[in-house]
Amino acid sequence: MTLAARRVVVRGVVQGVGFRFHTLDRARLLGLVGWVRNCNDGTVETWIQGPSERVDEMLAWLRRGPRAARVERVDVDEVGPVELSTFEIRRGTALCD
């Protein structure tokens, strides 16, 4: 099993549509760890980590998003894995680059 980690920024109509909660549910369903949060520029940032096949499944889902979202662009950065034990929603908005 190959472990993969990705930092993802999702752009479009992705705030106010339940994107974080759906991301949480999907990530837990796939057995991934990481986090998701709203950014102050209207994007959603997420860190997903787990078996590479499952990370790929999550990336495919993020490109669609939940029904109410309109994903326009997904920026993906390959990153090194970090010590995480669960997937969570980070509250509040953050400065994301």
Contact 23, 36 (CB under 8 A): yes
Query: Active-site residues: which are they?
Result: 20, 38
Helical segments of the chain, H only: 19-30, 52-64
* Cβ contacts of 57 within 8 Å, gap of 6 or more: 30
- What pLDDT, on a 0 to 100 scale, did the predictor assign at position 97? 63
- What architecture is the 3-80 domain classified under in CATH? 2-Layer Sandwich (3.30)
Q: Centre a 10 Å sphere on the Cβ of residue 97 and count the other Cβ atoms it contains.
A: 6
- pTM of the full predicted structure? 0.92
- Where are the domains positioned within the chain? 3-80
- What pLDDT, on a 0 to 100 scale, did the predictor assign at position 94? 65
Q: Per-block average pLDDT, block size 10, for the chain (97 residues)?
A: 93 96 98 96 96 98 96 97 95 70
